[in-house]
Structure 1
Amino acid sequence: MSIRNLKPLFRPQSIAVVGASNKPKSIGWVVMRNLLQEEFAGPVMPVTPDHPSVAGVLAYPDVACLPQAPDLALICTPPETIPGILETLGQRGTRAACIMTHGLHHAVTPDGASVIERTLAVTRAHDMRILGPSSMGILVPGIGLNASFAHRGARPGKLAFVSQSGALCTAVLDWARPREIGFSHFIHLGDTEGVDFGDVLDYLGSDPSTRAILLYIETIQQRRNFMSAARAAARNKPILAIKAGRSMEGARAAASHTGVLAGSDLVFDAAMRRAGMLRVRDIDEIFGAVETLARSRPVKGRRLAILTNGGGIGVLAADDLAERNGELASLPDDVIAKLDAVLPPNWSRGNPVDIAGDADGDRYVKALMILTECKAVDAVLVMHAPSAISDPTEVATAVIRSSKDRPRANIMTCWVGNEAVAHARHMFSGAGIPAYDTPRAAIQAFMHLIEYRRNQTLLMEVPASAPLDYRPDTARARALIDTALAHGGGTLNEPEAKAVLEAYGIPAVETHVADSPSEAGRIAARMTGRIALKILSPDIVHKSDVGGVVLNLTGAAEVEKAARDMLDRVVQFYPEARINGFTVQTMARRAGAQELIVGVATDPVFGPVIMFGQGGIAVEVIADRAMALPPLNTTLAYELISRTRVSRLLEGYRGRPPADREAIARTLVHLSQLVVDFPEIVELDINPLFADSKGVLALDAHITVAPAKPGTEHLAIRPYPKELEEFFALPDGQRALLRPIRPEDEPNHHVFISKLTPEDIRFRFFGLVHELPHSEMARLTQIDYDREMAFIAETDLADGKETVGVVRTVTDPDNDKAEFAIVVRSDIKGTGLGKRLLVKMIDYCRSRGTRSIAGQVLKDNPRMLAFVQHLGFVPTRTVDGDILEVELDLRNPAQTAPDPDPG
């Protein structure tokens, strides 16, 4: 992931077309035509030995003869020629190329080397960025750039479109022009051997000419890079994505219920949700959604009121809302009374609010005023169908005028029809009010707002603190997993799997292993209550399907007989299965408990995923499940639960009390921590997990492990790096915990800011800041540890913890430079804490291979200037006259000294 040398790729000053041609319909001919038609301002240099000029422009026989090194080279020559061309370009100083040629992965050079491997080696040697191979090219209409072989150009606009499909690119270009949709960038990634989605998201996320980013995704190459870039960009602007290939391929070889149910499409949904993006299904929807997000105010809730002059279209909208799990707002009695006072007697007296076919603009406005002021309504959909009595343009004029008086109201419109209402819809668009052709399109747009708001909330979530007394027995779990790995990996038996779960605070029923029927009987003799007997085999996932489960047994003799009969049945049904004995366990008597399934599967793209849903023997048939990417916290766990149908049953029904949702959420969080701690876990399955008002209990468990590298690289999202915690002794005897910041630190961070002196605030924020809004504070506390870091200093109070200092850095995607900021409370200065925080950050950045760390200091803050210079920082430039930028080269040994210390 890097934005290095992307500027010459997307905003070049000069271009060479290597393989330019005068042959009509050839790629070299189309590329030259497109470049010249768009009147690109810089020089365009065709390279070909076949023609003295191309399209009237002087041509050069090879790249060595070019009068200057081009910023961007567009290459459309045969595959075997490309490594040599790139070598010459690299030697001359070109740092960006778009390879339009197909077939590099199957071609070889004259000396028998792989063309693609030689190409990548050359680009690495010269620090060159390549788009492609097999790329259709790049369009940046704002600078007159059409460096592509597309059949038509693009209009300038504020949307960036990035695609892995060339055919879809041409289709979208064709689709967008008559609709007057423009683009800031139009990029075909091709085979993504050089520039990938993460790189482009980093570039476009900070591009001021781009309002929203649209993605067409077939595959993700680097999960961590993609998620980090997407989460960073989604904080700045909407990102919408279409995903092709919604299939179950990743689950074909799964050995558990969880693995079978973990379809790749559900995992992609989970990734989009966690990244704060909005997923859509087709081209019409993606452009409709981006216009909705641009024109609508963010919704605070999901309660929709429908105001209409026709009962039929109102009912259609209500039906669509129900199908999409939206919520039709319930109108309070006082609102009904207010509507009674302004509407004719034949109005519907409910939601949808049908105000009759003769409704004029005045009637619409009176009803709209009441609905927008109702606290039980989050948004209003105003609908109109043409009639001989009511003028759609007059009604639209009144609604537009009314909406201007209510700038905080969320109003959407749907004027149904075509010719008679076309002008009204045009008026709404001109006024910046969302307008839709059909009830279905309007409801889809409303649900987009809800889903986008939910995903943005998850992105910026400030969750409750995890239980402080939670300390998993990692040593016990490690011993069990290592034992399984020592035998070549594979499946932990049921008692071993349950022991791992218990080590992480997930209760399980008492379970013993018996090698033979007679031993099963002896174990049963020592147990009380009814007994469940199960076959123990690494080859049998669905035990009940082969007669491998018998319940409600009592006494040793009955258990022994059941074991012998079971062995006969299993051998008959599944003769090739390996039988390792039986499990003998206490029957869990939990009348009315809900059967759940929770588990872990490994997605080939995004790595481990957590699954939750309705369990039992029909789990695959019911297929009620939701996915989430670890790590989870309590808030994310609750959100995961809420996305299933079984969550409604957990609320209680027909006299059954509600299940203990806190215990279920805690189980998911603990399971997430287990996955974080043990990358060796490939699959994990708890089915069923009983859940009722008394808590949860695992009845059956399955864990599959395989050798893995230590660390957290197996995760798509880097978890909280607990290993970076340390204590620092203050002069008064207190100990301050220095640790990475967490989302749940937001409340204490507000208190911390409030206790800073005006001078502290001016030196930190270069101005007076009395408080930071939730959105900004969430941004400071909910960070992506892959590219940001903030260490806080935390001390103990009688009633809790308090933050007394913080140092943070934001590192560019190339890991070249980190920008730091530090502030310590005035009453803590002089204790050495400030120095320890900054040195800790310097050491951290150096360990990541960051080249330099830089910051800005006010010139009238001499103590801070002396402090950072003593640590090796040197002034590099002056900003705005009164701010000095200082920088430390991390490639040299750290230069630290005990004094002076401003904090």
Structure 2
Amino acid sequence: MNLKLNKLNNLDYFFNPKSIAIIGASAKNLSVGKTLIENLKESYKGKIYLINPKRKSILGLKTYPKIEDVKDKIDLVIIATPAKTVPSIVKECSKKKIKAAIIISAGFKELGKPGIELENQIRKNKGDMRIIGPNCLGIINSLNKLNASFAKDMPLKGKLAFISQSGALGCAVLDWSLKEKIGLSSFVSIGSMIDINFSELISYYGKDPNTKAILIYMENIADPLEFLVEASKVTLKKPIILIKAGRSSAGSKAATSHTGAITGNDEVFTAALKRAGILQVNTISELFSIADLISKQPLSNNPNLAIITNAGGPGVIATDSLEINNAFLAKLSKKTYLELNKFLPKAWSHSNPIDILGDASDELYAKTVKVLVKDKNIGGILIILTPQHMTEATKVAKKLKSFSKLNIPIFTSFMGGDSVTIAIEELIKEGIPNFPFPDDATKAFSMMSKYSKDLKKIYQPSNKNKTLINENKKKKASELLKKAFSKNKLLLDEYESKKLIELYDIPIVQTFIAKTKNEAVKYSKKIGFPIVLKIYSKTITHKKKVGGVKLNLKNEIDVKKAFDEIYSNIKKIKKQKEFLGVTVQKMIKLDGYEVIAGSTLDNQFGPVIIFGSGGSLVEIYNDKALTIPPIDKKLAKKMIESTKIYKAIKGLKNNKQALEKLQDILVKLSYLVLDFPVIKEIDINPILISKDKIIALDARVLLNPSHRLKKRL
């Protein structure tokens, strides 16, 4: 993969500029130009230069007619002028050797062709200057109190970096973060990404010691592969949590294969994010809930939670939420149970959730936590407090301070309004996340434990485990595909498809082509009865629908009759010219489970490997797992285990050998699609897994008509 990240990716000129110029500075109330000045004046300590040819000063600051009239060095320029003026302004800034620019102005590619032309002019004129925007809100660095945006308020200092593709949403989230007392290290409204993109920003934040987690609101992405490569480097060090808008599949194109039909653009995107170690959430609330927990507390891949509560109802709600979100109540060890029983009231719940009753004191909460942290069965502790008269919330919060830095996450749900406000502030100050409701808290914990497990999947597949394909076989596969292309053939027939699969050592039923009844009989005798006949055609793919499949043929008479019936069925639909004979193969007894393995080509991410429940009802079951190749046996195993059919396969007597062979098939399939990018889709369906064998019964291969590397075959 040839990445083209700009070498000038030191973004400090944006986040730590010593001097800033505003082009489009204004004295007009409620204008963007005036808001930018007010925000900078409020807390920025560096030099501010205002560019406005019609005024001598604004808000007590001197103005200059043009940027070239400022003789001092400028690190960052903020442009807030009409779109048509921006290309020439960018040229002037580049000439002055300004390092960074934020283009607030709107009216570019969102308006179509004229706007796209303006963007092209900006790219041509910018030289080495880096640009954020256009059509953006600006940036904020809360650590040095830089508000180079027209957002209203400065967020609280924190450890979360937030990148938003929507300026309006960014404004709303910034306001909400103040209310919820969630701090940010910085905020970037990225806009149309004419230059600086998600990849560069996550790379920058990955090295930023002041950022513990990166949050992203994404609408679209120009170079997804570049993004995934950069993200996979960063997620090994700190979390990236992402919410993506526009996840509907309404615009998906019709697919020609089962593999294509059971995958959607959003599913591929989700699979790619998982592969890179990115945590994808569905709501803004989830985005900040999980980020708050991950940034303040240690990761836990143990999904077993202990719950301490002074009320039964909230404990039940928390338990339900745990189960719904695939996490569990921790089973208390015998030692933990006996320790708790020494000091808790006689009427305590005697199980998890640990209900310490409505008159629980701050001492009782603290003693309970102290015992639980020693239990190795526990992966996290949730402390629920309802504002009952006998329990002093602020005292409890102060007692919990000493547990803020454990080796497992500790978090709270202090429920209520004014009566718990001061207590919650104490908790936040000490780095203990608080959730307004216990079900929100348990959902965040569940997401954390799953994310922590998924992190183990982030690695480059080992070449040591690579199943080597014989070079001679690889050459034959290349010749087969080259021959198909020479005939402008995009859909390989059944025989060619099976041959290609076989060349990559994927076990598939032996198949012969018979152009006449006599040939069909000859091959049937060679294979041994019972036999299956299928129509052999270059264009007819869904054979069963046209009456082109005959099963369990037990003798020579059956074979001849089946041959005639297939031809007759094709003649009825007036496609006899498409009839080129039949394929002959052994009738395999279906006494096991049917699965599908395949690949489809995504417009953004390239080949995608699919595994799941197979057979004729594959689209109905919709039981599948996706990943991006290359894969090794370890990744293949994770794929298989994430499907429902896995439980059925585990029930087979020879399940260990069957699973190993399945892993091998998926690995070889991933090499096949990477070795030959010309392949658009592959269906190997069904693959039969029984107590004594694993074998593919059918295959179909579709080539990519737009592929330009035919000569490399």
The corresponding residue for 1:458 is: 457
Q: Summarize deviations over 1:438-462 as a string: whole Å, max 9, x none.
A: 2321211211221221232222588
CA distance in 2, matches of 1:68, 1:245: 45
The corresponding residue for 2:17 is: 12
Q: Summarize deviations over 1:165-190 as a string: whole Å, max 9, x none.
A: 12211211221222233333211221
Amino acid of the structure 1 residue aligned with 2:17 = P
The corresponding residue for 1:484 is: 484
Q: 1:659 to 1:152 in 2, by over 3 A?
A: same
The corresponding residue for 1:83 is: 87
Q: Would you say the 8 A contact 1:463–1:635 is kept in 2?
A: no
Q: Would you say the 8 A contact 2:301–2:453 is kept in 1?
A: no
CA distance in 2, matches of 1:347, 1:325: 26
Q: 1:101 to 1:364 in 2, by over 3 A?
A: closer
Q: Would you say the 8 A contact 2:300–2:408 is kept in 1?
A: no
Q: Would you say the 8 A contact 1:463–1:634 is kept in 2?
A: no
**How far did residue 575 of structure 1 move?**
6.4
The corresponding residue for 2:50 is: 45
Amino acid of the structure 1 residue aligned with 2:475 = A
The alignment-based identity, stated in percent, is 35
Is residue 2:608 matched to residue 1:609?
yes
Higher relative contact order (CA 8 A, sep 6+): 2
**How far did residue 691 of structure 1 move?**
2.6
Q: Would you say the 8 A contact 1:251–1:262 is kept in 2?
A: no
1:143 aligns to what SS in structure 2?
coil
Q: Summarize deviations over 1:41-93 as a string: whole Å, max 9, x none.
A: 123231x4343444443333333433245322322333333332222322221
CA distance in 2, matches of 1:179, 1:539: 61
Which runs of no fewer than 5 residues in structure 2 stay unpaired? none
> TM-score normalised to the size of structure 2?
0.88
Amino acid of the structure 1 residue aligned with 2:123 = L
Is residue 2:41 matched to residue 1:36?
yes
Counterpart mapping for 1:494-893 below 5 A: 494-515=494-515, 519-536=519-536, 542-569=542-569, 581-591=581-591, 593-652=592-651, 660-694=658-692, 696-706=694-704, 708=707
Amino acid of the structure 2 residue aligned with 1:67 = K
Amino acid of the structure 2 residue aligned with 1:663 = K
1:491 aligns to what SS in structure 2?
coil
Counterpart mapping for 1:353-364 below 5 A: 353-357=354-358, 360=361
Amino acid of the structure 2 residue aligned with 1:28 = G
CA distance in 2, matches of 1:413, 1:59: 52
Q: Would you say the 8 A contact 1:509–1:697 is kept in 2?
A: yes
**How far did residue 665 of structure 1 move?**
1.5
Q: Summarize deviations over 1:749-790 as a string: whole Å, max 9, x none.
A: xxxxxxxxxxxxxxxxxxxxxxxxxxxxxxxxxxxxxxxxxx
Amino acid of the structure 2 residue aligned with 1:513 = I
2:36 aligns to what SS in structure 1?
helix
Q: Would you say the 8 A contact 1:381–1:411 is kept in 2?
A: yes
CA distance in 1, matches of 2:311, 2:587: 59
The corresponding residue for 1:878 is: none
CA distance in 2, matches of 1:383, 1:17: 49
CA distance in 2, matches of 1:495, 1:113: 49
CA distance in 2, matches of 1:330, 1:254: 48
CA distance in 1, matches of 2:57, 2:579: 78
Amino acid of the structure 1 residue aligned with 2:440 = A
The corresponding residue for 2:266 is: 265
Q: 1:423 to 1:73 in 2, by over 3 A?
A: closer
Counterpart mapping for 1:245-260 below 5 A: 245-248=246-249, 251-260=252-261
Q: Would you say the 8 A contact 1:101–1:134 is kept in 2?
A: yes
Amino acid of the structure 2 residue aligned with 1:196 = N
Q: Would you say the 8 A contact 1:305–1:352 is kept in 2?
A: yes
**How far did residue 364 of structure 1 move?**
5.1
Is residue 2:201 matched to residue 1:200?
yes
Q: Would you say the 8 A contact 2:599–2:609 is kept in 1?
A: yes
Q: Would you say the 8 A contact 1:129–1:195 is kept in 2?
A: yes
Q: Summarize deviations over 1:531-575 as a string: whole Å, max 9, x none.
A: 233344565555444444332223344234334434554666796
**How far did residue 215 of structure 1 move?**
0.8
The corresponding residue for 1:22 is: 27
Q: 1:186 to 1:393 in 2, by over 3 A?
A: closer
CA distance in 1, matches of 2:149, 2:456: 38
Q: Would you say the 8 A contact 1:513–1:581 is kept in 2?
A: yes
CA distance in 2, matches of 1:417, 1:572: 74
Q: 1:583 to 1:421 in 2, by over 3 A?
A: farther
Amino acid of the structure 1 residue aligned with 2:118 = V
Q: 1:415 to 1:177 in 2, by over 3 A?
A: closer
Is residue 2:120 matched to residue 1:122?
no
Amino acid of the structure 2 residue aligned with 1:34 = N
The corresponding residue for 1:859 is: none
CA distance in 1, matches of 2:695, 2:596: 11
Amino acid of the structure 2 residue aligned with 1:664 = L
CA distance in 2, matches of 1:471, 1:513: 26
CA distance in 2, matches of 1:665, 1:470: 15
The corresponding residue for 1:136 is: 137
Q: 1:228 to 1:658 in 2, by over 3 A?
A: closer
CA distance in 2, matches of 1:282, 1:157: 21
Q: 1:84 to 1:689 in 2, by over 3 A?
A: same
Amino acid of the structure 1 residue aligned with 2:106 = H
Amino acid of the structure 1 residue aligned with 2:682 = L
The corresponding residue for 2:100 is: 96
Amino acid of the structure 2 residue aligned with 1:490 = L
The corresponding residue for 1:805 is: none
CA distance in 2, matches of 1:87, 1:307: 62
The corresponding residue for 1:313 is: 314
Amino acid of the structure 2 residue aligned with 1:266 = E
**How far did residue 324 of structure 1 move?**
1.7
Counterpart mapping for 1:216-227 below 5 A: 216-227=217-228
Q: Would you say the 8 A contact 1:464–1:635 is kept in 2?
A: no
Amino acid of the structure 2 residue aligned with 1:696 = I
Q: Summarize deviations over 1:840-892 as a string: whole Å, max 9, x none.
A: xxxxxxxxxxxxxxxxxxxxxxxxxxxxxxxxxxxxxxxxxxxxxxxxxxxxx
Q: Would you say the 8 A contact 1:664–1:695 is kept in 2?
A: no
Q: 1:517 to 1:363 in 2, by over 3 A?
A: farther
Amino acid of the structure 2 residue aligned with 1:498 = K
1:297 aligns to what SS in structure 2?
coil
CA distance in 2, matches of 1:424, 1:114: 56
**How far did residue 40 of structure 1 move?**
4.8
CA distance in 2, matches of 1:281, 1:621: 25
CA distance in 2, matches of 1:107, 1:393: 57
CA distance in 2, matches of 1:358, 1:333: 26
Taking only aligned residues, the RMSD between alpha carbons, in angstroms, comes to 3.4
Q: 1:679 to 1:577 in 2, by over 3 A?
A: farther
1:215 aligns to what SS in structure 2?
strand
Amino acid of the structure 1 residue aligned with 2:104 = M
Q: Would you say the 8 A contact 2:241–2:281 is kept in 1?
A: yes
The corresponding residue for 1:174 is: 175
Q: Would you say the 8 A contact 2:213–2:294 is kept in 1?
A: no
Q: Would you say the 8 A contact 1:80–1:108 is kept in 2?
A: no
Amino acid of the structure 2 residue aligned with 1:608 = P
**How far did residue 226 of structure 1 move?**
0.9
Q: Summarize deviations over 1:801-845 as a string: whole Å, max 9, x none.
A: xxxxxxxxxxxxxxxxxxxxxxxxxxxxxxxxxxxxxxxxxxxxx
2:33 aligns to what SS in structure 1?
helix
Q: 1:571 to 1:619 in 2, by over 3 A?
A: farther
Q: 1:171 to 1:479 in 2, by over 3 A?
A: same
CA distance in 1, matches of 2:210, 2:7: 17
Q: Would you say the 8 A contact 2:461–2:631 is kept in 1?
A: no
Counterpart mapping for 1:207-246 below 5 A: 207-246=208-247
Amino acid of the structure 1 residue aligned with 2:120 = E
Q: Would you say the 8 A contact 1:272–1:278 is kept in 2?
A: yes
Q: 1:37 to 1:582 in 2, by over 3 A?
A: farther
Amino acid of the structure 2 residue aligned with 1:185 = S
The corresponding residue for 1:791 is: none
Select between 542-551 and 289-298 the one with higher mean Cα deviation.
542-551
Is residue 2:301 matched to residue 1:303?
no
The corresponding residue for 2:64 is: 60
**How far did residue 157 of structure 1 move?**
3.2
**How far did residue 261 of structure 1 move?**
1.7
